[in-house]
Amino acid sequence: MENLRTAMEELIQAKMPDQDWEYFQSKLIFKEFPKKHRLIEAGQTERYLSFIIKGIIRFYIPGPEHDTTVYMAFDNWFTSIYDSFVTQGPSYYSAETLQETSMLRISYSDLQDVYKNTSVGNLIGRRASEVLFVLKTQREISLLKLNAEERYLQLLKEQPHLIQNIPQKYLASYIGITPQALSRIRKRINA
């Protein structure tokens, strides 16, 4: 819980009043999921905004021949299929855990209550939206401006301890190449 409070205070760039924290904390649900657990299927509606305590979640678009990994979330990150969460409409993505994952979750309706009944609720929502928007924009820019090797090196720089926990086929899909091309990049880098 303290990691979440710290993350939220960093998010709003201020100390969260104790009464707001207590109200928010009362709405949280602690969940643990095994490795390879499907959290949501494409076509379903995202009902939760989550904070990953420990674990990795892969978000992907299912395909007839192969899935396309579009996003990954790691320890101490807020995560959601945010467009589905905000609109409460069907998701284009599926999500699954890549390792045992524990998280704190808040439902859409409970988050609306937090917005209404706390002094910092709307600020939390706005800042979380801004952070998720920036992350999405950075991902799009990296796909458009960087080549595959640069995208791999960027991921290696940002999450070096987690790369080893992501199967190569998902990592390759995430940076937009085949597993064989990723093997060649790794060989070049390590040569």
How far is it, in rounded angstroms, from Cα 111 to Cα 165? Answer: 32
Helix, strand, coil in percent for the chain, rounding step 5? 50, 20, 30
Closest CA to 105 of 53, 51, 59, 38: 51
Q: Residue 43's pLDDT is what?
A: 97
Q: Residue 162's pLDDT is what?
A: 65
- pTM (two decimals): 0.85
Q: Residue 7's pLDDT is what?
A: 83
Stretches where the chain sits below pLDDT 70 are: 161-162, 191
Q: Residue 11's pLDDT is what?
A: 81
